[in-house]
Amino acid sequence: MKEKNLDRRVVRTRRALQDALIQLILEQGYDNVTIEEITEKANLGRTTFYLHFSDKEDLLLHAIDTICDDFIEEHKTFLNKIDQKEKINQGKLPANFQHGILYHIFTHAREHANLYKVMLRGEGGAKVSRRFALIIQDETLRRLQSEQVQHLKVPDEIFSVFFSGNLMTFITWWLENDQPYSIEEMVKYFQQIFLFGALDTLQISPSSREIIS
Residue 78's identity, in one-letter code, is F
Q: What was the pLDDT predicted at 210?
A: 52
Q: What was the pLDDT predicted at 2?
A: 53
pTM: 0.73
Q: What was the pLDDT predicted at 28?
A: 93
- Exposure class string for 173-182: b at 16+ Cβ within 10 A, else e: ebbeeeeeee
Q: How many CA atoms are closer than 13 Å to the CA of 136, on its beta-carbon side?
A: 24
All structural domains of the chain, each given as residue ranges with its CATH number in brackets, are 1-53 (1.10.10.60), 55-212 (1.10.357)
For the segment 31-82, what is each residue's pLDDT rounded down to a tens digit? 999 999 999 999 999 999 999 999 999 999 998 888 888 877 776 666 565 4
Positions in the chain short of pLDDT 70: 1-6, 75-99, 147-150, 199, 205-213
Q: What was the pLDDT predicted at 203?
A: 74
Q: What was the pLDDT predicted at 79?
A: 59
Q: What was the pLDDT predicted at 31?
A: 92
Q: What was the pLDDT predicted at 118?
A: 87
CA distances from 156 to 62, 136, 196 (A): 28, 13, 18
